[in-house]
Amino acid sequence: MNRSRPSFFLLVLWILLTLGVPAAALENVHDLAQAVDEHYNHLRTLEAQFTEIYRGMGMERTETGTLWLDKGGLKKPGKMRWQYRSPEGKLFVSDGKDAWFYVPADHQARRTDASRLSDLRSPLEFLLGKTQLEKELQGLSFAPDQPPWITGDAVLRGIPHGLADQISEMLLEVNPQREIVRIQMQGVDGSVTEYRFADQKVDVTLPAGWFQFKPPSGTETIEGLE
């Protein structure tokens, strides 16, 4: 009987893989969350291509671009730069002290204190290993009712601490490499904001001043983000 057990186990594993059951389904939420934390904990910088999708108020908007993240110091917010290709020129950048949002067509640049930033891009700190998923997402669990963007990925759900007045639920999609490839946030107003990430590159060298912003000549500066 003992000799048959390995063959039986392999048969069960083959059936699961054939049926398309993600590998994450074979582990518990705690182990998966720790594996994701471990994947990002040692990163200094990260570059990724992103797609931002917004659905709400009877409209849908899709924007794309490149995201750069820098872990920064342990006692201050990390640095981030969202450079949009579509719409061209749109920029969201934070050096850990000030956060700027700039749209060339508006001829305005908005600035706010990064430590008080409540923008929905804030949860991207998950991608820098600055937080622990189980501490930051209340009630973290698998979400088997939510289809993944990519077959074979695991989807987790939870409620983010500190953003309960804006977000009623957050979904995280994790691939077999333990990368977060999608973050979807359900707003309390019924809107949905989704970020998809591809071609993630770790510990890339970034230009000096990459996370600083100086408004172009003729641009009006407004304090505080909408």
List the chain pLDDT tens, one digit each, 226 residues.
444 444 544 444 444 333 344 544 446 899 999 999 888 888 889 999 999 999 998 899 999 999 998 886 545 567 889 999 999 889 999 888 888 999 998 889 999 887 766 555 655 667 776 668 888 888 999 999 999 999 999 999 998 877 777 889 999 999 999 999 999 999 898 999 999 999 999 999 999 899 999 999 889 999 875 5
Output the pLDDT for position 24: 46
Is residue 137 exposed (0-12), middle (13-18) or buried (19+ Cβ within 10 Å)? buried
| Gap between the Cα atoms of 219 and 138, Å rounded | 41
List the domain boundaries for the chain: 22-74+116-208
Topology (CATH) of 22-74+116-208: outer membrane lipoprotein receptor (LolB), chain A (2.50.20)
pLDDT at 225: 56
